[in-house]
């Protein structure tokens, strides 16, 4: 079963967990209020919330009976046994780490230290509860005591504060009976003074992370909620205030899961946001007996499938929106899979085989093949405006293609509407370069779209009339107007006209998967004002034939053919992954070494139908080019 699982779902690899959120999420928070009020959730008063709080510890995610049951299950369950052994090795390694220091390596963030403490609190506390090795308890106290002497948890970048509060909450609750009175007092003092007090300051303001619809909301509310539930019986007034505010705030972000579970910040930030969202709900249920209806917010019951669909058979995700292309795993998939009966989500995390302490708590032996779950091969995520298509769930050599056309106003957006990625033969052929350095000048401000990786020319999309200005409209929002999923032809067509306002009269892009075997990228452009560039970034070697109409890409011992089937007068060329001569090129950007661009350059006046076929050379015989048809006839 284990070997078959891994063969069929090769897309499942590295872990991004609630105890180790994505290392690339280090943005400088921008306080942007959302327009909607969010779903209506009936939240009791602060006093009523505290009256519901269970008095015994532990009560966050698991109770004493749960720990005892987990000890029994580990003895007989091979997955849990393997995961427990891995966590014991991790815990032993942590004992060699230096004490944490209040150091902001980039001058802005304490986040690495906060995340270390979350990871250490979960792992060391869990291993002590399960195995009784006092070294884990003693070392964790040394760390917590060192951090409690910090001047603050860096509330200027509140993710740092929220995650550190989360770390202290788990350590306080899970090891409550093992701490002395003075140790518990020190931990409570740190949570109140360095977590709750700056948190209340934000809640009382008219703008801040409590009024946004992206990952900051869930992470900050989730971390503070864990703190409030951990010490609520001893600090009921301020903990009640924090909890009431967090419950009032988090629906603002959770509405972003609607209508069908997609996440506009991409699969990377999905992992960060959702891991904290799940942790918050699970803690509410374990400590108060209810989540007050949060888990019933539209789309949340389907969101466990989002990272599954966003990951290709190459083990790489469709990494739009400031994300690296590592698979978007998270131990919260175990919780989501069990709660909402999504066996494919559960299996995704089991196959990753990179456990956390929360994995031990949420794991249930319900492995099931994704294909047997009846999941469609293709999916269009509404509002997020992403479509993914694939040839199979079980074949690691299959074709996978994904395109997005979401709004540029979403958090972490790039100028990348219409961009796509492509897998085939176990390789990623069309790549997204991911984010640049968050500490570049103006990365989250006025200079954002001067950086190559954030511009349209740094993605696999169209550039019209390149210049110093942004090469897509930074305020544009587009949609996938048509989507179809049939065995012989699956496609998505996006109207990208808004992205090229003032540059063209009309722009549409269609991506098709033909016979589950090869891909067509077709662009229809009318009235372009200036030259047009078609780009596809790749790490493959590129050879273009004498006529310039066919290119052969070589990578990992595999080959893919790119063929221009329309119009007759354009040719391929190969360019470096760097800005065009007319584009900005600030200093300090990441290197794109090893990446090239397959490009097409032409004058876009009039009406142009550009069609490119991307065909894996898989030894199954020649693929005959499909007759070029207008997108309206697809």
Domain of residue 71, residue span: 2-373
Same domain for 300 and 324? yes
HSE-up (13 A, CA, CB side) for residue 285: 14
| Sequence-distant (≥ 6) Cβ neighbours of residue 457 within 8 angstroms | 463, 466, 471, 533, 535, 579, 580, 583
Same domain for 502 and 546? yes
Average the pLDDT over each of 20-34, 71-85, 555-569 and give the range with the smallest value. 20-34
pLDDT tens digits, one per residue of 225-247: 999 999 999 999 999 999 999 99
pLDDT at 371: 55
For residues 307-334, average pLDDT: 91
**Per-residue confidence band for 621, with pLDDT thresholds at 50, 70 and 90:** confident
Average the pLDDT over each of 208-212, 363-367, 373-377 and give the range with the smallest value. 363-367
pLDDT at 37: 54
Nearest Cα to Cα of residue 385 among 372, 404, 402, 367:
404
Same domain for 327 and 312? yes
What residues form DSSP beta bridges with 381?
386
CB 604 within 8 A of CB 577: no
Got the DSSP string for 310-337? HB-TTSBB--TTT--SB----THHHHHH
Residue 29 has pLDDT above 50, yes or no: no
Residue 363 has pLDDT above 90, yes or no: yes
pLDDT at 420: 98
Domain boundary among 339, 373, 407: 373
pLDDT tens digits, one per residue of 181-190: 999 999 999 9
CATH of residue 500's domain is: 2.70.98.70
For residues 372-385, average pLDDT: 89
**Per-residue confidence band for 177, with pLDDT thresholds at 50, 70 and 90:** very high
Same domain for 280 and 303? yes
What residues form DSSP beta bridges with 297?
none
Same domain for 179 and 249? yes
Q: Give the CA radius of gyration of the chain.
A: 25
For residues 444 and 451, give the distance between their C-alpha atoms in angstroms, rounded to a whole number.
11
pLDDT at 10: 37
For residues 578-593, average pLDDT: 95
pLDDT tens digits, one per residue of 479-503: 999 999 999 999 999 999 999 999 9
Instruction: Provide the mean pLDDT of the chain.
Output: 91
pLDDT at 23: 30
Q: How far is CA 247 from CA 38, 45, 189, 241, 590, in A?
A: 12, 11, 23, 10, 40
Residue 31 has pLDDT above 60, yes or no: no
Domain boundary among 373, 394, 424: 373
Q: Is the dihedral of CA 129, 134, 140, 145 positive or negative?
A: positive
Same domain for 414 and 551? yes
Same domain for 363 and 434? no
Same domain for 334 and 449? no
Same domain for 55 and 199? yes
Nearest Cα to Cα of residue 467 among 537, 529, 412, 404:
529
Percentage of the chain with pLDDT > 70? 93
pLDDT at 234: 98
Q: Structurally, how many domains does the chain consist of?
A: 2
Same domain for 340 and 439? no
The pTM of this model reads 0.92
pLDDT at 467: 76
Domain boundary among 373, 401, 428: 373
Q: Which token pair is 409?
A: 């106003």
Same domain for 260 and 330? yes
**Per-residue confidence band for 138, with pLDDT thresholds at 50, 70 and 90:** very high
CB 493 within 8 A of CB 509: yes
Residue 18 has pLDDT above 80, yes or no: no
Residue 156 has pLDDT above 70, yes or no: yes
């Amino acid at each position: 079963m284990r070997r078959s699982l891994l063969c069929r779902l090769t897309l499942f690899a590295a872990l991004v967990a609630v105890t180790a959120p994505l290392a690339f999420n280090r943005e400088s928070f921008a306080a942007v209020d959302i327009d909607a009020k969010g779903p209506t959730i009936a939240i009791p008063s602060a006093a009523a919330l505290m009256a519901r709080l269970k008095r015994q510890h532990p009560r966050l995610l698991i109770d004493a009976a749960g720990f005892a049951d987990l000890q029994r299950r580990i003895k007989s369950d091979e997955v849990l046994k393997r995961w427990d052994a891995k966590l014991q090795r991790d815990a032993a390694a942590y004992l060699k780490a230096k004490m944490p220091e209040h150091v902001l390596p980039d001058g802005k963030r304490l986040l690495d230290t906060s995340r270390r403490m979350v990871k250490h609190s979960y792992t060391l506390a869990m291993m002590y509860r399960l195995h009784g090795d006092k070294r884990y308890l003693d070392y964790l106290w040394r760390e917590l005591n060192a951090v409690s002497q910090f001047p603050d948890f860096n509330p200027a970048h509140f993710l740092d504060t929220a995650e550190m509060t989360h770390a202290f909450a788990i350590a306080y609750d899970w090891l409550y009976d093992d701490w002395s009175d003075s140790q518990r007092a020190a931990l409570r003092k740190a949570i109140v003074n360095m977590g709750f007090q700056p948190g209340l300051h934000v809640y009382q303001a008219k703008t801040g992370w409590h009024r946004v619809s992206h990952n900051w909301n869930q992470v900050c509310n989730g971390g503070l909620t864990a703190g409030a539930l951990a010490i609520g019986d001893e600090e009921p007034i301020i903990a009640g205030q924090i909890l009431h505010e967090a419950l009032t705030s988090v629906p603002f972000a959770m509405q972003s899961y609607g209508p069908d579970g997609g996440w506009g910040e991409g699969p990377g930030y999905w992992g960060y946001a959702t891991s904290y969202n799940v942790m918050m709900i699970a803690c509410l249920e374990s400590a108060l007996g209810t989540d007050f209806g949060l888990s019933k917010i539209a789309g949340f019951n389907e969101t466990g499938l989002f990272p599954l669909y966003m990951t290709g058979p190459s083990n790489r995700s469709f990494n739009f929106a400031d994300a690296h292309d590592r698979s978007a795993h998270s131990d919260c998939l175990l919780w989501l899979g069990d709660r909402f009966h999504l066996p494919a989500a559960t299996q995704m995390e089991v196959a990753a085989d990179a456990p956390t302490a929360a994995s031990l708590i949420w794991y249930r032996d319900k492995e099931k093949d994704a294909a047997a779950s009846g999941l469609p091969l293709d999916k269009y995520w509404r509002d997020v405006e992403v479509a993914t298509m694939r040839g199979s769930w079980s074949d690691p050599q299959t074709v996978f293609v994904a395109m997005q056309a979401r709004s540029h106003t979403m958090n972490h957006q790039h100028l990348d509407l219409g961009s796509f990625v492509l897998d085939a033969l176990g390789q990623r052929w069309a790549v997204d370069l991911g984010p640049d350095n968050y500490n570049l000048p103006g990365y989250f401000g006025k200079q954002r779209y001067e950086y190559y990786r954030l511009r349209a020319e740094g993605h696999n999309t169209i550039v019209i009339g390149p210049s110093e200005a942004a090469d897509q409209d930074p305020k544009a929002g587009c949609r996938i107007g048509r989507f179809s999923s049939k065995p012989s032809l699956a496609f998505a067509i996006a109207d990208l006209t808004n992205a090229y306002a003032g540059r063209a009269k009309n722009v549409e892009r269609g991506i098709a998967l033909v016979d589950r075997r090869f891909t067509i990228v077709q662009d229809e452009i009318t009235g372009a004002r200036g030259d047009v560039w078609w780009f596809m970034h790749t790490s493959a070697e590129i050879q273009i034939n004498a006529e310039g109409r066919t290119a052969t890409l070589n990578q990992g011992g595999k080959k893919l053919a790119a063929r221009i089937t329309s119009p007759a007068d354009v040719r391929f060329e190969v360019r470096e992954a760097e800005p065009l001569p007319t584009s900005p090129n600030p200093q300090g950007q990441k290197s794109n070494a090893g990446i090239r661009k397959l490009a097409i350059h032409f004058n876009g006046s009039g009406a142009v139908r550009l069609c490119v076929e991307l065909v894996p050379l898989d030894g199954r015989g020649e693929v005959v080019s499909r007759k070029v048809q207008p997108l309206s006839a697809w």
